[in-house]
Amino acid sequence: MERFHWVRHRCRQFLAVDSERGWYSPPDGLPSKSSPQRVSGRRRMVLARHGPHQQEYEAVSKKYKGNAIRTTKYSLLTFIPMNLFQQFHRAANLYFLFLALLNWVPVVEAFEKEITMIPLLVVLTVIAIKDALEDYRRYLFDKKVNNNLVRVFCGKQKSYIDRCWKDVRVGDFVRLSCNEIIPADLLLLYSSDPRGVCYIETANLDGETNLKQRQVVSDLSLQGADFTPESFHSRIECENPNNDLNRFKGYIEHSGGARVGLHSSNLLLRSCTIRNTETVVGIVVYAGHETKAMMNNSGPRYKRSQLEKRLNTDVLWCVVLLIVMCLIAAVGHGLWLKNFRDPVFQVDGETSPALAGFYVFWTMIIVLQVLIPISLYVSIEIVKLGQIYFIHNDLDFYNEQLDSRIQCRALNITEDLGQIQYLFSDKTGTLTENKMVFRRCSIYGVEYPHVENARRLEVYEAEQNEAACLTVTLKSACSGKSMSCRSLSCNRSSVSLHTLTAESPEEEDQLSNHATARTGAFCSRMAKDVVPDPELVRKLNCLCSSTLHLGDGSTESLSSLELTYITDFFLALAICNSVVVSSPSQPRHVVPEAQAPLKSLEEIKLMFQRLSFYSFAPPQIKGSPRSFTSKLFTRGKTGSFTFNTAPNNSSNGSEAALDSSQETCKLKSKGDLFDREDSAAMWSQEDQESKGDCDGGKQNIEDPSRDVESDEDCDEELLYEAESPDEAALVHAARAYHCTLRGRSAESLLVELPGIGSLVVQLLRILPFDSNRKRMSVVVRHPLTGQVVVYTKGADSVIMDLAETQKGSEQIQEILRHIREQTQKHLDMYAREGLRTLCIATKVLEEEEYEVWLKRQLMAESSIENQEELLLDSAERLETDLTLLGCTGIVDRLQEDVPETIEALQEAGIKVWVLTGDKQETAINIANACKLLRSNDRLLTANCGSKDACVALLEELFKEIQHDEDREESLESTSSFILVIDGRTLEWALQEELKGSFLELSCKCKAVICCRSTPLQKSKVVQLIRDKIGVMTLAVGDGANDVSMIQVADVGIGISGQEGMQAVMSSDFAISRFRHLKKLLLVHGHWCYHRLANMILYFIYKNVMYVNLLFWYQFFCGFSGTVMINSWVLILFNLVFTSVPPLIYGILDRDVPADTLMKLPELYGAGGTTKIYIPATFWITILDAFYQSLVCFFVPYFALAGSDAGILSFGSPVNTSALLIILLHQVIESNTLTWIHMLVLVLSAILYFGFVLLYSAFCVVCSHPTNLFRVETLQMSQPLFYIICTLTTVTALLPRILFWTLFNSLHSSAALRSAQRDEAAAERYRRRMQRWNLKHSGHSSLAVCADNPGLEPSMHEVVS
């Protein structure tokens, strides 16, 4: 099949009329061999189209594709040859073509030539019309997109002119305004924002509506009043086109020879929309089908279902059966000619018996062609479309809040939903809401439980349950504001142009509604209204104190260090993110002017003299720490916060400061040093004296009537748009403590600190989060100290390893060790409570150290080859020897009905595995909450530090399970095992030599929980189970980290949650809630598999039964290939008369009602569904078809024996009986009979009789001599014809009727068993309550109520 696709692709290339237009299939991502960039490796050179390098531009860019897109498959000239070529790569059409051509050979001709062409022509015509309509729709969409106008720079006119998208070329300068859609992949060269940033919305690519910030190429000195393309003389070298939306590598080389690295934040992708930026200018680097958007257009997903694979095997058996029957006919005909003497009619005596037998073999291939159920494949596709229609329109899958319903993206694996044996699920966003809410935190080793915040969450949940609203209301004020501020200062309207696929208006509405939901979810009331912890507020209020007292002693120094940690902790929460800040009166990209600090600089100086900022910063950094006074005020300036020059570095001064700090620090015992109660006692006498001032500040923060209301106009209007919900939760938490992020630009952040006011934080570098590092970092210049500081947040397993004990004095090591130990205890406690944990750390860099690292980072960014590895290495060099500040615990609630869904799936025989990147304790807690782990289950934990330990542990756990199984057999008790394995151990277990042991152990367990697993490990686990055990697997997830396992699994399901649409776009089915899996699998999965399996068996039965009638007749005509049925009726029998009933059977049949399937999940398991279509049922169906064909042939044969009936007189009752038997057979097999079923069956019979009568009565010379005039009309006018048909039909179907009668008598249906079970339970309850009444009440009776409807109304009736 791969060769067919390759040939198809090559033919498309040869038939292409316009070399600049691509085809519907995605391009290979590599240019042709003759293109210049192929010679230079994996790079392409981009020059300005109207620049000084005209000759070089013509030589380099002539092979680049234009911007016109073509998603159509055909043109007027290529439609017929291309469509025929596509259709004939199907085995079914090739089979029909072979038979049609074979019938043109005179010596093997069985029917008239035009008759055998009918099935092929019908199939080709229907499919061609369908393809033409689809392609015409694509053509109209392409025409609309290609003719959109955009302003492109014209070198002759020296100005921007309107051009169609299709006329844009690589190297063109494109000018865009707000709300305009980007026509090609552009390198951003200019933005009207003075800071060189713009914002784009990528909803057309990935469904995400949170704005992405893009930045003008750094060091490009073209920002001014306007951009002049004539002044652009640089060269751009970048990687060749690829489909990675998040990667762009290259560099721009200026005329002076300087190179500047390019990355994805400099690239504006085609089909995205410009937001909140008046004007941007970019140069086209990729156009048309070379853009990343078009290269991601892979078309609909195609997977082969297990049922089709099983069907292919059975079709091969049908081929074997056909060959055997044709060989019998060939041998029989040869023997008949050899032994025939003195013929009374003309026989060809010149042909030898062997050659005549050879001819008959091919004649019988034509006659018995229906035995191969090739048309079954077309019928299956139609049935699947009908099944998908009912799944898609099931109201139970409709999410009213998101205004979304289930999406069926893979059209040919619906029946696989009914055969799932292993389900692999992500945790966050799949089992949980992925709506993060700040719950509690730990700073400086002190835990702040936020008790009032916990009560607030309980109140919100109670309110939501009372309002019957299971999730946060989507149409919030925040959502409305967020949407309204997008079009600020923009007069142009936005038109949704999807360049990936031509989506319907319904899909566009669904996408937009989903986008609104996402915007509202991140700024919900539950996430915003964080209640501060009183103790933490009291400590922070010291920054708000207007009267500062200097003190000495150990407690003062420790308190100052703790306050330093607290301030840095909340500053990290506010700035270590990619959150976009906006408000109705403020565009997202604007950083407002910093207000004057609330305190004078002299007060700040006194304050931070007291706090001794960074007095205990990592001592291994040369020249650090220093007192704040020397850091901030050594420049001889006052009233200024300008930190453009590096501070004076003095190692002697720093060491003196460190020694002074160490001398003032007297440690307490480990037991009470960092205890939360004792932390308050560490404050000095001076703190107690100034407590009134701190309490005053505390009132200002806590009293909503004062502080909150006074800041309501500005604070409540701030809107945070985050790329992930946990980022938004942390920013809201920092804001609750008045550490507010107020603005963001490419180079700075505006942050308001409590007691200080708004400060501009210079943003030096951002190291974004990735799944390998599991952390994110920002490099800033501290707004108070002027130092280069790194703030890092990430998974605790990573941060705790990077925050090793620092070098220095024993006292410093003791403090850092205790902070680490206490924080680890709090992390474990949070994980046991099911909270998501993140660690916050920091690091102070020397200017020299930062400059060295920056050079390495810039070199990595400007590299094209191995850029990912170089950037990873650069990040790892920076994120070392961190100082741990604290950790956070974030609530991520379970989705509704998750426990019930998992319980039902397990009862259905499906093993549920959870693959998550969270901590082990968190995963176990969630497993308990969702009933994956029960009280009687035994937990097996696999955490190893080495490969040898992993080998020993796997063997030990397996032996333990075997020992318990043996003991349980003797005690007649059962218990289940749950395996919990961490990421490091899983990495070893997935190695080739340990796969077998891990697989053997996991098969013994009821469920497996993989913690700290990476996306690659998730996919490897799914692939291991799928390939080694050979079971049907399903993977469900909601984020980009789940894409790999979704694609590896037999069935991939994406949840349209809070993490974008990557999982949905990679999935086979997309749902909005995890609970929808229950009905999707237990009901629709069961129905789809049951219907399709039964329809396939029925189709095979129908074909085999009918073909055998022709085969039995060969024993009475010398195996000559003669048929006793009209050739037109013979061809139309399967094509028309009996084609529709199987389709209705496969779409509408229901063996068990939906409520019963939901109530009895065990009906889904191996005992019910999956035994329908197995080899045994296939051969039983074949034998039944043989029996019915024998009855259908020989009953009319013996009934007409000795009469003068001719061939057609004998064939007419045989053919009519076959039709009645086949139709009534379906009635017997159907579990559901509706008016649609009956209408189709009656119309099929009427159509048959009407065609036969009209054809026999009016077509005198048609198909002579097989259609003698009025023979069938005469037969159908005689009573004997109907007697024979009735007797034949009853005799053929009687055994099946008796079988089903006995089977249903001995095995009650599922619905009946469910009703009997409910009735028996009610009867047991009634008797138990009667006994209780007799025992506890002498003459009174228990009232009848809704809970006990079966109780008798009075005790007298019970006694009687």
| 3-state helix/strand/coil string of 920-942 | HHHHHHHHHHCCCCCCCCEEEEE
**Cα–Cα distance between 1035 and 1044 in angstroms, integer?**
10
Phi, psi (deg, nearest 5) at residue 888:
-125, 150
**Cα–Cα distance between 79 and 73 in angstroms, integer?**
8
Q: Is 894 exposed, middle or buried (0-12, 13-18, 19+ CB in 10 A)?
A: middle
Task: Indicate the average pLDDT of the chain.
Answer: 75
Please tell me the predicted confidence (pLDDT) of residue 473: 32
**Which pair of tokens denotes residue 1203?**
């009469």
- Residue 463 binned pLDDT confidence (cut-offs 50, 70, 90): low
Task: Identify which of 557-561, 918-922, 1023-1027 has the greatest average pLDDT.
Answer: 1023-1027
Please tell me the predicted confidence (pLDDT) of residue 1174: 83
Among 218-232, 646-660, 1074-1088, whose mean pLDDT is lowest?
646-660
Beta partners for 278? none
Please tell me the predicted confidence (pLDDT) of residue 616: 40
Among 140-154, 533-547, 657-671, whose mean pLDDT is lowest?
657-671
Please tell me the predicted confidence (pLDDT) of residue 1269: 61
**Cα–Cα distance between 245 and 250 in angstroms, integer?**
15
Task: Identify which of 315-324, 476-485, 1350-1359 has the greatest average pLDDT.
Answer: 315-324
| 701 or 192, greater pLDDT | 192
Catalytic residue numbers read 426
Tell whether the model's pLDDT for residue 1339 goes beyond 70: no
Tell me which residue has tokens 């590895």: 869
**Cα–Cα distance between 438 and 1332 in angstroms, integer?**
51
- Residue 1187 binned pLDDT confidence (cut-offs 50, 70, 90): very high
**Cα–Cα distance between 674 and 448 in angstroms, integer?**
12
- Residue 314 binned pLDDT confidence (cut-offs 50, 70, 90): confident
Q: What is the mean predicted confidence (pLDDT) over 786-809?
A: 84
Tell whether the model's pLDDT for residue 1185 goes beyond 70: yes
What's CA 941's distance to the chain center, in Å? 29
Instruction: Please say whether the beta carbons of 125 and 149 come within 8 A.
Output: no
Nearest to 233 by CA among 283, 285, 182: 283
Nearest to 1218 by CA among 1250, 1243, 1245: 1245
**Cα–Cα distance between 240 and 640 in angstroms, integer?**
48
Instruction: Please say whether the beta carbons of 1145 and 1238 come within 8 A.
Output: no
Q: What is the mean predicted confidence (pLDDT) over 77-81?
A: 88
Percent of the chain with pLDDT over 90: 21
What's CA 550's distance to the chain center, in Å? 58
**Cα–Cα distance between 272 and 199 in angstroms, integer?**
10
DSSP label at 290? G
Among 366-380, 1103-1117, 1327-1341, whose mean pLDDT is lowest?
1327-1341
Please tell me the predicted confidence (pLDDT) of residue 304: 73
- Residue 1314 binned pLDDT confidence (cut-offs 50, 70, 90): low
| 1301 or 1243, greater pLDDT | 1243
Q: What is the mean predicted confidence (pLDDT) over 706-729?
A: 63
Q: What is the mean predicted confidence (pLDDT) over 488-495?
A: 36
Q: What is the mean predicted confidence (pLDDT) over 558-566?
A: 79
Beta partners for 1007? 978
Q: What is the mean predicted confidence (pLDDT) over 1060-1086?
A: 86
SS3 408: strand
Please tell me the predicted confidence (pLDDT) of residue 852: 93
Among 574-583, 717-726, 881-890, 891-900, whose mean pLDDT is lowest?
717-726
Please tell me the predicted confidence (pLDDT) of residue 328: 93
SS3 886: strand
Amino acid at 588: R
Tell whether the model's pLDDT for residue 586 goes beyond 70: no
Beta partners for 462? none
**Cα Rg of the chain, angstroms:** 39
| 1339 or 909, greater pLDDT | 909
Tell whether the model's pLDDT for residue 1258 goes beyond 60: yes
Instruction: Please say whether the beta carbons of 1001 and 990 come within 8 A.
Output: no
The dihedral built from the CA positions of residue 735, 777, 783 and 542, taken in this order, carries a sign that is positive
CA neighbours closer than 13 Å in the CB half-sphere of residue 533: 21
What's CA 1047's distance to the chain center, in Å? 9
Instruction: Please say whether the beta carbons of 356 and 337 come within 8 A.
Output: yes
**Which pair of tokens denotes residue 957?**
């756990």
- Residue 627 binned pLDDT confidence (cut-offs 50, 70, 90): very low
CA distances in angstroms from 1262 to 100, 1132, 1133, 1248, listed in the order given: 19, 15, 17, 17
Tell whether the model's pLDDT for residue 29 goes beyond 50: no
Among 99-113, 354-368, 922-936, 1104-1118, whose mean pLDDT is lowest?
99-113
Task: Identify which of 123-137, 466-480, 1279-1293 has the greatest average pLDDT.
Answer: 1279-1293
Q: What is the mean predicted confidence (pLDDT) over 685-698?
A: 41
Instruction: Please say whether the beta carbons of 243 and 30 come within 8 A.
Output: no
Please tell me the predicted confidence (pLDDT) of residue 777: 94
**Cα–Cα distance between 19 and 694 in angstroms, integer?**
75
Among 75-89, 1075-1089, 1173-1187, whose mean pLDDT is lowest?
75-89
| Other Cβ atoms closer than 10 A to 802 | 19
**Cα–Cα distance between 574 and 932 in angstroms, integer?**
37
**Which pair of tokens denotes residue 1308?**
């009650």
Q: What is the mean predicted confidence (pLDDT) over 599-625?
A: 43
| 14 or 1337, greater pLDDT | 1337
Among 712-726, 1118-1132, 1288-1302, whose mean pLDDT is lowest?
712-726
Please tell me the predicted confidence (pLDDT) of residue 1262: 60
Please tell me the predicted confidence (pLDDT) of residue 18: 38
Nearest to 784 by CA among 518, 538, 587, 604: 604
Amino acid at 133: L
Q: What is the mean predicted confidence (pLDDT) over 736-751?
A: 87
Amino acid at 710: S
End-to-end CA distance of the chain: 78
Tell whether the model's pLDDT for residue 236 goes beyond 80: yes
The dihedral built from the CA positions of residue 1147, 1148, 1152 and 1153, taken in this order, carries a sign that is positive
**Cα–Cα distance between 526 and 733 in angstroms, integer?**
11
Please tell me the predicted confidence (pLDDT) of residue 321: 92
**Which pair of tokens denotes residue 1209?**
């007189």
Percent of the chain with pLDDT over 70: 73
Q: Are strands 911-915 and 1007-1010 parallel, antiparallel or unpaired?
A: parallel
Tell whether the model's pLDDT for residue 500 goes beyond 80: no
CA torsion angle 449 450 451 452 (round to 10) = 180
pTM greater than the 0.75 cutoff: no
- The pLDDT tens digits of the residues spanning 838-867 come to 999 999 999 999 999 999 988 888 787 787
Please tell me the predicted confidence (pLDDT) of residue 1291: 93
**Cα–Cα distance between 1166 and 346 in angstroms, integer?**
61
CA distances in angstroms from 446 to 440, 1008, 1024, listed in the order given: 11, 35, 44
